[in-house]
Amino acid sequence: MRLYHVPGTRSSRVHWMLEEIGKPYDVTVMAREERHEPPHLARHPLGRVPVVHDGDGHVFESAGICLHLAESNPEAGLIPAAGTHDRALVYQWVFYAMLELELGIVEKYVYGETDAARTAAGVASYRKALQVIEDELAGKEYLVGGTFSVADLIVAGVCGFGVYLGMNDGFPNVAAYLERTNARPAQQRANAA
C-alpha cells in the first residue's frame, strides 16, 4: 500500500487510517505543486490527494479509501459486520461528514477572505450540522456501537479542520470527542510522521 500525501490535507485521514490498521505501508510526501504534474494527474485526474495504490491500482477520495481499508482489513475492528444496522450507521456518519460538515468548512476556507456572506452561510451550515454530532455524542464516547470506527476517524478528521478554522466553539461533546480521537496512538503516530 502506498499513500500519496500532502500534510495538512484530506490525505491526513488516510494516513491516520493506515496507522489504525497497523500493516506496513509506504508514504510519498508531495509538495502541493506536484499534484498538478503529469505523474500525479495519472493517479488523480483533478490533481488532488489522497491517492493510494492498493496493489491493484489507484484509488482516490479520502472517505472512499478509508471505507475500503476498513472493509479489507476487518481484523482491525474499524467497521461493523456487513448487513448490520451498525454498518449502516457507519455509512451514514461517513457520508454526513463529507456532505454536511465538510461543505461549510470548504466555504469558510475558500471564501473566508473574499466573500463575507458566503463565509457566514458556510459557518452557519457547518454549525447546524455539527449540532447533530454534538447531540449524538451526548453520553457516548463514539458514534457507532460504543467503539471507535472508521466513522469516527472521518468525522473527527473533518471536525479537526473546523477547529483549525475556529468554527467549533460551544460544542463540549464534540470537543471531548476530539480529545479522545486525537489521543489515539495511531493518530499520534500519523501526526508525528
Ranges of each domain in the chain: 2-77, 85-184
- For the chain (length 193 residues), average pLDDT per consecutive 10? 94 97 96 95 97 96 97 97 98 98 94 94 97 98 97 97 96 98 97 89
pLDDT value for 87? 98
> What's the CATH superfamily of 2-77?
Glutaredoxin (3.40.30.10)
pLDDT value for 167? 97
Rounded to whole angstroms, the Cα distance separating 100 from 190 reads: 26
pLDDT value for 193? 84
CATH of domain 85-184: 1.20.1050.10
pLDDT value for 79? 98
Which residue in the block uniquely carries the three cell numbers 463540549? 172
Residue 112 φ then ψ, to 5°: -55, -30
Rounded to whole angstroms, the Cα distance separating 178 from 153 reads: 10
